[in-house]
Structure 1
Amino acid sequence: SVYDQLEQIVEGPSLEFKIDRLSDDCKKFINACLNKDENLRPKYKQLLEHEFLQKVKEIQKTENVSGYLSHIIDGLEKNTEKFKLYYYLSYNSQ
């Protein structure tokens, strides 16, 4: 019955995320968020410091740098002479 299902949700164990294609850090993060016991569930600050989010931040930094360098390389390929002048002026003005 619906009541039994609701009781199982409230009284039963916390859900556990077990999808294999996710990293262990990702699963640990999600499972920490799904913990029913508010005393065991990490607080906001702890979640922000979780290893999974720290790795995500590092990946985002790498992607930002990769995108920036890709933009520079595209500029070199499209307009070499103009880019040389821009690079020369930017480099010498530092």
Structure 2
Amino acid sequence: MLVRRLPEVGLRTDAPPDGAFYAWCDVGHLTDDSVAWCQALLADCGVAITPGVDFDTVEGHRMVRLSFAGSTAEVEEALDRMVASPLLRG
């Protein structure tokens, strides 16, 4: 469900989840500072995602990690909020 809805949110992943509960997504078309962008997304719509710099010191500035370890309803709600956020309009 998360991977299916990523285009609707305006994100993509080149590495679909395979045994993990997260998606690794490129936000380089929206920002070059994934930390500030994740903070702004949390403030804007109450959705917490992880900046890529926590996992990759080279390309992480343009990447984020979205967890889908919550319930389907919680993930759907988070995606709905993200779709409505102006931060996801490049």
Q: Assess same fold via TM > 0.5.
A: no
Q: TM-score, normalised by structure 1?
A: 0.25
Considering fraction of residues, name the structure with more helix.
Answer: 1
Q: Which has the higher contact order (CA 8 A, sep 6+)?
A: 2
Considering fraction of residues, name the structure with more strand.
Answer: 2
Q: TM-score, normalised by structure 2?
A: 0.25
Q: Rg larger in 1 or in 2? A: 1
